Amino acid sequence: MKQDENDVRKNVKVIPSVKEELHHLHSQLKAELKTESAVIAYLLKMHQDFEDTITFKQHRQYISASQEMHNAKVK
């Protein structure tokens, strides 16, 4: 898809394992969220709503999971 010349948003480069998970989430939410950008916005809003209620243990689990995902190789 070609980016409109008036569109000033930056493309975010992600590693393949993260892109794969993003694509999976997008396919699950496609009825309501039409683009991967909308999925990211959804995740950001979810984080904003829950950031004050997350426990430190949960935070560490999410950090660990994100590091594993970042270091994973796509099969």
Tokens encoding 40: 């990211």
Q: What is the pLDDT of residue 51?
A: 82
Q: Is the pLDDT of residue 2 over 90?
A: no
Residue range 15-70, pLDDT digits in tens = 888 888 899 999 999 889 998 889 999 999 998 988 889 899 999 999 999 888 88
DSSP 8-class letter at 11: P
16-29 vs 56-71: helix axis angle to the nearest 10? 110
